[in-house]
Every structure is written in structure tokens, then in C-alpha cells.
Amino acid sequence: MTRELPMDFTGGYCIPIDHNVEKNHPDCTWPRKPLALSSIMAIIHTPKHSKDSGQMKEHFASIISAIGEDLTRPGLADTPERAAKAFEFLTRGYQQKLDDVVNDALFPSDSNEMIIVKDIELYSMCEHHMLPFIGRAHVAYIPTGKVLGLSKVARIVDMFARRLQIQEQLTLQIAETVKSVTGAEGVGVIVEAKHMCMMMRGVEKQNSVMKTSAMLGSFRDDPATRTEFLSLVR
């Protein structure tokens, strides 16, 4: 079945952003035109959900009953509550605010050399099956006067990973956010991950790895910068 995914156009390539955005956003037309960075940031930093763990607990109880299990047996009695808590944790990115995540950890620096944070492990969940995808992110940027606290790069990765995602969107969100927070002249992000929806079910391929990248600013425009990033990541 061919499916039209809602698309956004950023930095020269298209990625799905959000099912509601395309319908509602006046800039989202076809053929696509670039969204202003402020619009992108507003979209990706606005949590669209408020948590309700009581409701989640009830829903998990319904799912357990629906698969034919006995909710009253001792092993399962507390499972709806545990599952709700786990799910809340796994999707906590919706509750996070960028300002809190960054916590003003931006420091003046004269460096204009590439900064890379490699091998940031990530745990996310595909929005199609709500099954995990697990992998690593490599994030690089070239600062222009200020650098970001090292841990904050990993926190930004987590903030977006801990939502229902597709890998392409996650990759771009990390890149756009690092760029907007640091004002970097360029940002490169590579994510490599294995998707449980392809391993545990469906096509059942155990060894395929998905690699996605987002190159912004000089990482996009300057082949030497991109090559340096790719060689350092390798």
C-alpha cells in the first residue's frame, strides 16, 4: 500500500514530521518550501501529550485481558501499573523542556574546531509498532563562540529518543536542536540503530542496521567538513 507520509522540508531534504502538522501548518504545502527554523523548533519542542498513568494502567489491563491472560494471577496483578510506569519512563521525552535539559550549560569558547560526541547510546520506540529501536548517535558541531556542556548533547539525544519516533525524524530533531541551542555554523548527526519491529516480528531480519544522517550548515555545504566528520566517526 502506498502511504502519503506528512512531510517537512528542511535543509534540502524531506522528512516526515508529524501527522497533524501537515494538515494544520500553513507552511506545509506541496511542493514543499522550507519552514522557518523557529517554526521547526516550535513543532519539535512542544510536547503534544500530557501523561495520564492511571489511564495507561487501565489500558494495559485491557490489553492483558485481550490476549487471554488472567489479570488476577499473582504474577500479573501489578503488571498494568508496572507497565504504565515503564511506558511513562520510555516516553518521558514528551514531558521534557529544552530549557531544562540544557540548563544554561553553554560556555564561551574561542574554538572553531569540530566537536564530536560519539557513541551516545539511545533507546527509542518506533511509532509504527511501539517496539524499541536501539542504537547509537554521533553528534558533531562547529561552534561559533559558545560550546554546549558535554552531557547536554546526550540529554538532547534522549529527550527526542524517549518519544514515539521514526529514526529519520529523531536524527533531524537532534541536529536542529543542537544547531539552534549553540548557534553552531554546522551540525552533523548520524544515528545507527536496530529496530525490534524488524527483528522480533514482521520480516524478522536480525542483522540489518538502519543508518540515518542529518547535515546542517557547513556539514552540508562543505565536503571537507563532512568528510572530516565521517572519518572521525568511523
Binding-site members for Zn(2+) are 126, 129, 197
Stretch of 38-46, 180-188, 190-198, 221-229 lying at the interface with ligand GTP (CB under 6 A): 190-198
Grid cell locating 12? 534540502
Q: Does the annotation count 126 as an active-site position?
A: yes
Whole-angstrom CA distances from 202 to 32, 167, 194, 195 are 33, 18, 14, 11
Task: Tell me if 128 contacts ligand GTP by CB under 6 A.
Answer: yes
Task: Tell me if 166 contacts ligand GTP by CB under 6 A.
Answer: yes
> Closest-CB residue for ligand GTP?
202
Q: Does the annotation count 185 as an active-site position?
A: no
Among 155, 195, 220, 226, binds ligand GTP (CB under 6 A): 195
Task: Tell me if 126 contacts ligand GTP by CB under 6 A.
Answer: yes
Instruction: Out of 22, 126, 169, 173, pick the active-site residue.
Output: 126
Task: Tell me if 209 contacts ligand GTP by CB under 6 A.
Answer: no
Subset of residues 56 to 95 that bind ligand GTP, contact rule: CB under 6 A: none
Q: Which of 63, 120, 119 is nearest to 87 (CA)?
A: 63
Q: Say how many C-beta atoms besides its own lie within 10 A of residue 162's C-beta.
A: 20
Instruction: Out of 96, 165, 167, 169, pick the active-site residue.
Output: 167
Q: Which of 200, 210, 207, 220 is nearest to 166 (CA)?
A: 210
Task: Tell me if 197 contacts ligand GTP by CB under 6 A.
Answer: yes
Say how many Å lie between the first and final Cα of the chain, rounded: 37
Q: Which of 97, 144, 151 is nearest to 120 (CA)?
A: 151
Instruction: Out of 14, 25, 129, 168, pick the active-site residue.
Output: 129
Task: Tell me if 7 contacts ligand GTP by CB under 6 A.
Answer: no
Q: Which of 173, 163, 164 is nearest to 212 (CA)?
A: 173
What is the pairing mode between strands 115-126 and 132-142?
antiparallel
Output the smallest distance, CB 95 to ligand GTP, in A. Answer: 22
Based on CB atoms, which residue is closest to ligand GTP, 5 or 232?
5
Q: Which of 151, 118, 147, 150 is nearest to 135 (CA)?
A: 118
Q: List interacting residues with ligand GTP (CB under 6 A).
A: 126, 128, 166-168, 195, 197-198, 202-203
The residues assigned a catalytic role are 126-129, 167, 195, 197
